[in-house]
Structures are given as structure tokens and as C-alpha cells.
Amino acid sequence: MSKLADQGSLLPANTESADVQAIEVHNLKKSYAFKPVLRNLSLTLPHGQRMALLGANGTGKTTLLRILVGLSKAGSGTVAINGWDSRYALQEIRQSIGFVAHQPYLYEELTVLENLLFFGQLYAVPRARERAMVLLERVGMARRVNERVRALSRGQVQRVAWARALLHQPSLLLLDEPETGLDQDGSVLIDTLLAEYAAHGGSILFTTHQLERALALSDQVVIINGGKVVYQHETVDLTLTDLRQTYQGIYGGKQV
Amino acid sequence: MRMTRVFCLQIWAILWKDIRYELRSKQTWLGMGMFALLVLVIFNFTFDLHPDTVAAIAPGALWVAFIFASLLGLGRTVAAEREQTSLDRLLLTPVDRKAIYLAKLLGNLLFIGVVEIVALPVFAILFNLPIWQGSTLLTLILIVILGALGIASVGTLFSVLAAATQARELLLPILVFPLVVPVVISAVRATSVVLVPSVNEPPWLSLLLAFDVIFLSASTLLFQYVIED
């Protein structure tokens, strides 16, 4: 593989063993101000698989992602990412995760390239500048590397956020409504990146409100309601009509 | 050895980012500097200064200006991160929490230090104090740096706590003031001794240094528990 291709690869830097689950969550509980958000939630994502997390607002999807990335602590239960127990190996977990959320998690006063170089230093990415440039090319932002983030549109910021999440070649991508802020071209681009990432053995867990996208981009769908998993099914033998009916059955006909 | 190098590089990366960010946004330095100068000017107007009273009033005025200006800056540095949710982004990275603390502390120390060094000559002119003679200026700068370190070490820790609340501007002084009282007393007394040498004074500079070591050690150890959810 050429040096440039290596820099642009979405292949995780340290591909995990296929025996290790990408995500293993058991009996997870979390409350905010005595209000339970997650109730005995258990979930397993095999290595190299893509999972779509569905559910209405306030059902605990974002809370689950925040616990998985180590931004929130679980009330009780266990979380293991790529075989690492979150109670003892948070730094290893952080190194292996790429996270894209509603917020871009970028510094507005820094330029696009400065942001990526900064995060490259924090993740100790070798040849960070080359890697950043290749990724920015991939997300269509190579011509705006020297512009400050605050001068970019919402969709452009989101593209940079994607480059930031892939910078350290994570083996697991956690995406909280990844299509947020992206136009049609942006969505197509991200779908292509995700497909390539998955083809290279990366694992993906993403939340979405779009059943079509969930079905098209995942190997299995999970529906959360009341802080626990109420439905889980592989997409290979699932139709959109079935999924829509199941979803509406759980949420009482709520529009998706 | 590699761990130490990575640790230092992470501190440098965060510190350099904060400096660059501040140089572009100019939110903290300008506000702190103007505030410190205004307090010194107001003290100069409100007190009836005579040669025999100025040495008693000036150290207090100087440190009141410094501590309020410092709190203004301390509140801004982490709050700016929180407002853009970038602190979360920092926490997502596999960076040692001690590195985040030390980088933020060094940044705060730099912001406070620069403001204080600029305010010092203004203070000398307004209060007509001969700080340029002999080793007075060097000793004063040392006291200012040690005082700033004491305030910044506690302030950096609590600015993270305060930034997570709605009433951060109010909460930060309430949390920090009582804790930095030993630092402020030592700094004021040490400044006073430098301006008007007197006998039978406790070793204020050594006490200031001791408080700095205690606050810095405790804050470094506690930071990771404060910053995590």
C-alpha cells in the first residue's frame, strides 16, 4: 500500500481480534436527578458489524453513547469496548473510538487544519499533517484548510468533524445522528465513508430517526424505549415496512 | 521516558491551542488588564494617600486588583470551552487529565502573569513607590508570580466546577476566595515587607511558596475527579 493510500485509509490502526466484541454492555443503569434514563440496558455489537440505534427523543440513545465514549459514568452495570473494561481502561477505549455528535467538537477560532493538527497531537497520530490533508480531501474540505471553523457553514463544519473523528483511525465509530446538518451531497459522502470503513473491518454504532437510513446502513437495528432494548433484529431479512410497523407499534403510531 | 515525552507534548498542545485561541479572540487578556488597571486607578482616587500611609495601603490595593482580575480570566478560560462543548471533546481524547490540568494552569498563569507584570509599573507610578531600586523589583516579580501560581492552581480546579453550572460568574469567586486567603495574606504581607522593610516579620515568601506547593499538589490530584462526570 502506498504511503498516501495508507494515510487515507479508514482501516482502524489496530484491528481488533474478531473474537472480541466491539461493544458489550450489561445491565446498564443511569439516572439524572433520580429520573432513570437507562434501565438494565444490555447490548452487544460484534466486531466489524454496524448497528443502528432507533428510538424517540429522550429514550436514552445519547446517554448510552456518552457512557460508551466515557463522557458520563454508568450508575451500575458494565461496559466493555473492544474487550477493555471501561472501569479500568478508559484511555485505551478513548484511543479506539471515533465520535461524531450533534456538536462538532471543534474550536471555532482555529482553522480547519489547526483543529485537526491539535487533535492529532492529543491522539499521538503519526504524520498527522499528511493524514489530516488526505482526510480533508476525502470529506471535500481540502480547499478550506486555512479558514477558521467559525467562517464555515453548518454542513462544512460537520464534514470537518467527520475528518476529526477518523483522524486517529479508530476501530469503533459512535455516531449520534451523523446526518445532522449535512446536505444531500454530504449525506451521500458520509454513507460512502461509512461503507468503506465497515468494509475495512471497522465497527459502527449510530443513532438515527430515519428508518430508511437505519436499514440501508446497518447489519442490525435496535429500538430503545424507556431506557432498555425492546427490539433487535438483523437487517438482512427485514423490510422497511416491517421495521416501520414495529417502530409504530412500540411508539404508538408516532411519526418517524 | 516515552510516556513523559507524550505527557509533555500533550500539555504543550493544549497550552499552545489556548494561547493561539486567546490571541485571536482577545476575550480574556484585554478584560483582565483593563479591570486590573481600573481597580488600581480607583484605589488611587479613593484613598487619601500620604507618604506615611501609602506603604500600608498599596500592597492591599495591588492584590485586590490582581485577585479580581485573575478570577475574571479564570472564569473565562474554561467557560469558553464549556460553551462550545469543546471540553467534552478534550475529555474524549486519551489525554491524561493531569496534562489537561497543567496545561490549563500554565495558560491561566501566563494570562494572569502578563496582566500583573503590565499592571506593576502602573501601580508603582500611581502610588509613587520606588520599586525600581536594588532588588525590590525582582523580589516583587517573584512574589507576583508565586501569588499568581497560588490563585491559578486553586482557580483552575474550581473554574471547571463552576463552568458546569448556570451561575458560574457568581460561583467561582465564592468557591475560590475562601481557599486562597492564605495565599493572598502571604502575598500582601510579603509585598508590604518588600516596600517597607521591617523586622520580626514571618518568612512570608517561604509561606507563600509552601501554600503554592500544597495547593498545586492537591489540585493536580483532585482535578480528574472534578472534571469527570
8-state DSSP, A78: E
What is the structure's pLDDT at A5? 42
- Complex confidence, ipTM: 0.83
Neighbours of A248 (CB within 10 A): 14
Distance from CA of A127 to the nearest CA of B (A): 15
- Note whether B93 contacts A: Cβ–Cβ < 8 A: yes
Contact yes or no for A99 and B85 at CB 8 A: no
- d(CA B39, CA A36) in angstroms, rounded, equals 49
Q: Which residues contact B113 (CB under 8 A, 6 or more apart)?
A: B144, B145, B148
Distance from CA of A77 to the nearest CA of B (A): 16
> Beta partners for A76?
A29
For B38-45, the CB contacts below 8 A with 24+ separation are: B39/B64, B39/B65, B39/B68, B39/B69, B40/B65, B40/B119, B40/B122, B40/B123, B40/B126, B41/B126, B44/B126, B44/B127
Radius of gyration for the alpha carbons in chain A, expressed in angstroms and rounded? 18
> What one-letter code names the amino acid at B88?
D
Closest residue on chain B to A115 (Cα): B17
- d(CA B223, CA B118) in angstroms, rounded, equals 30
Cβ-Cβ contacts under 8 Å, A103 against chain B: 84-85, 88-89
Q: Are B91 and B227 in contact (CB under 8 A)?
A: yes
Cβ-Cβ contacts under 8 Å, B88 against chain A: 71, 103, 105
Q: Are A161 and A174 in contact (CB under 8 A)?
A: no
The candidate with the shortest Cα–Cα distance to A71, out of A60, A86, A83, is A86
Closest residue on chain B to A119 (Cα): B93
In a 3-state reduction of DSSP, which class is residue A212?
Answer: helix
- d(CA A136, CA A143) in angstroms, rounded, equals 9
- Note whether B10 contacts A: Cβ–Cβ < 8 A: yes
What is the structure's pLDDT at A79? 95
**Where are the alpha helices (H) located in chain A, listed in sequence order?**
3-8, 61-68, 90-96, 112-122, 128-138, 154-166, 184-199, 211-217, 240-250
- Note whether A102 contacts B: Cβ–Cβ < 8 A: no
Partner residue opposite A107 with nearest CB, options B21, B94, B228: B21
- Note whether B52 contacts A: Cβ–Cβ < 8 A: no
Say what the pTM is: 0.86
Q: Are B209 and B191 in contact (CB under 8 A)?
A: no
Q: What is the pLDDT of residues B40-92, one digit of tens each?
A: 889 888 887 787 788 788 899 999 999 988 888 887 666 666 666 657 888 89
Mean pLDDT split into 10-residue runs, chain B, 229 residues: 86 92 78 87 84 84 90 72 69 92 92 86 87 84 93 90 76 89 93 83 91 95 84
- d(CA B85, CA B99) in angstroms, rounded, equals 19
Distance from CA of A142 to the nearest CA of B (A): 22
- Note whether A84 contacts B: Cβ–Cβ < 8 A: no
The domain spans of chain A are 21-251
Helices B2-25 and B97-126, axial angle in degrees (round to 10): 50
Looking up cell 464555515 gives A152
Q: Which three cell numbers stand for residue A32?
A: 439524572
Which element (helix H / strand E) includes A81?
Answer: strand A76-81
Distance from CA of B115 to the nearest CA of A (A): 22
- Note whether A33 contacts B: Cβ–Cβ < 8 A: no
Which element (helix H / strand E) includes B215?
Answer: helix B204-227
Q: What Å distances lie between residue B55 and A182, A198, B221, CA to CA?
A: 64, 72, 39
Q: Are B206 and B184 in contact (CB under 8 A)?
A: no
Distance from CA of B193 to the nearest CA of A (A): 44
Distance from CA of B162 to the nearest CA of A (A): 18
pLDDT in tens, chain A (256 residues): 334 345 556 655 555 566 789 999 999 999 988 899 999 999 999 999 999 999 998 889 999 999 999 888 899 999 999 999 998 999 999 999 999 988 888 988 899 999 999 999 999 999 999 999 999 999 999 999 999 999 999 999 999 999 999 999 999 999 998 888 788 888 888 889 898 899 988 999 999 999 999 999 999 999 999 899 999 999 999 999 999 999 999 987 655 5
Looking up cell 437495528 gives A221
- Note whether A130 contacts B: Cβ–Cβ < 8 A: no
The candidate with the shortest Cα–Cα distance to A244, out of A218, A212, A213, A217, is A212
- Note whether A180 contacts B: Cβ–Cβ < 8 A: no
What is the structure's pLDDT at B81? 66
The domain spans of chain B are 2-228
Fold annotation for A21-251: Rossmann fold (3.40.50)
Closest residue on chain B to A69 (Cα): B92
